[in-house]
Structure 1
């Protein structure tokens, strides 16, 4: 399980370590968006671009606006620190979708850095790597949600869930959901790629789809998270294992 770096934001910005990673090993960062909300609101006008600020204004609930703002301010600060540029100078684009060719594939930036962002109320995760990467964080869902969606998963995953007692099923569903979404985001297709596309498993250890390494991420109680990094054409990383 990956132990993420904790991102700490102050009214003066970010003064922590610069993101770095070994080949094939993503650098994952955890943001407490509630704690960072005040500083993020102050910094956002000078950091976020027009489209991001417009997106904030469209969100109805203050908690959602704070979460989005803190996550995107953190993303630009970390990318800027890694690239050696001001956060407002970071250029964010979208790759072409591998399914339809439209401009809504993986988020991208210059300099060969791959990244992914996910947020839900209270928590955001950011992942950086030298290969395609996807990350996802979610609240552990209610039983109703699990019952409604489990049948859309890979048949083996649906069977695994149905065999579990109810108290264990919610956490297992949260594991497989975040693993699946992290992998699909890494592929650049998101949930449009289909929840039944690959078997990543509901148990304590994820199963790796071809060409990908999927790992759970340590997050606060009540949440689940995972990161997926592309491994196609890459020899296994030697030595350091950030998952321990």
Structure 2
């Protein structure tokens, strides 16, 4: 995806009901899609039985809150339709496996496709899902702006330089800076395949307007709806 003037990657918006039916080309950079899971929850629920696999349908039924269930269903219907479009196959026929765990090597790591020709990442918060696809390992994250009281309790999860940068800011600017660095960090950790089981404080990605790239990775901010931050990390090494 191309960079916008303000340095943000621009995701395409996806209606899960009208997801692409043709094979999509995949460029060298990450392909990003944004889904409004509130607006499309009814259509996604209607398509779910013929799109999701048996395990996903069971998982959806386990959610106690309807809003969580709707978000999961909509995001995963969109994911399968896009995977089908990139791979040229029916969405329900796409085989999604689990990578070996980074700690115990058992198959309960991040979702992957056999063969490794296509990599993907999915993130969602209330009402929004962000999906990323690439030919190399990729991670994506989208978050609502984090509350000031949460920032005070979680500053120790940041790299010391990042924590120092945020501490120097006026209080009114800290929620945006903290959320910005956190989405970059979580996208990077998801790309590595370790998620939050890794040490968020170990690597510096920066809290300023431009990300800092860890070795062998490119981290970019993604344009998100007002009140949110989003980021994507792509392995380049």
**Which residue of 2 is the match for residue 237 of structure 1?**
none
| 1:3 and 2:42 aligned | no
Contact 2:20 2:81 in 1 (8 A): no
**Which residue of 2 is the match for residue 188 of structure 1?**
193
Q: Please state how far the C-alpha of 1:209 moved relative to its aligned partner.
A: 0.5
1:181-205 CA deviation, whole Å, 9 max, x = no partner? 0000000000111110200000000
| 1:212 and 2:224 aligned | no
**Which residue of 2 is the match for residue 120 of structure 1?**
125
* Partner SS for 1:35: coil
| 1:202 and 2:211 aligned | no
Q: 1: CA distance between counterparts of 2:9 and 2:24? A: 15
Q: 2: CA distance between counterparts of 1:68 and 1:83? A: 22
* Partner SS for 1:77: helix
Normalising to structure 1: TM-score of the pair?
0.90
Higher alpha-carbon deviation: 54-63 or 131-140: 54-63
Match of 2:71 among 54, 67, 71: 67
Q: 2: CA distance between counterparts of 1:125 and 1:7? A: 10
Contact 1:20 1:27 in 2 (8 A): no
Q: 1: CA distance between counterparts of 2:157 and 2:42? A: 39
Q: Please state how far the C-alpha of 1:26 moved relative to its aligned partner.
A: 0.5
- From the superposition, tell whether residues 185 and 121 of structure 1 become closer, same or farther in structure 2 (CA, over 3 Å): same
Normalising to structure 2: TM-score of the pair?
0.93
Q: Please state how far the C-alpha of 1:18 moved relative to its aligned partner.
A: 4.8
**Which residue of 1 is the match for residue 37 of structure 2?**
33
Q: 2: CA distance between counterparts of 1:154 and 1:76? A: 35
**Which residue of 2 is the match for residue 166 of structure 1?**
171
1:98-153 CA deviation, whole Å, 9 max, x = no partner? 34323233321135100000011110000000000000011111111111111221
- From the superposition, tell whether residues 119 and 107 of structure 1 become closer, same or farther in structure 2 (CA, over 3 Å): same
Equivalences for residues 216-235 of structure 1 within 5 A:
216-232=221-237
**Which residue of 2 is the match for residue 241 of structure 1?**
none
Give the alignment's Cα RMSD to 1 decimal.
Answer: 1.4
Match of 1:88 among 87, 92, 113: 92
Q: 2: CA distance between counterparts of 1:17 and 1:26? A: 19
Name stretches of at least 5 consecutive residues in structure 1 with no aligned partner.
233-244
Q: 1: CA distance between counterparts of 2:87 and 2:114? A: 9
Name stretches of at least 5 consecutive residues in structure 2 with no aligned partner.
1-7
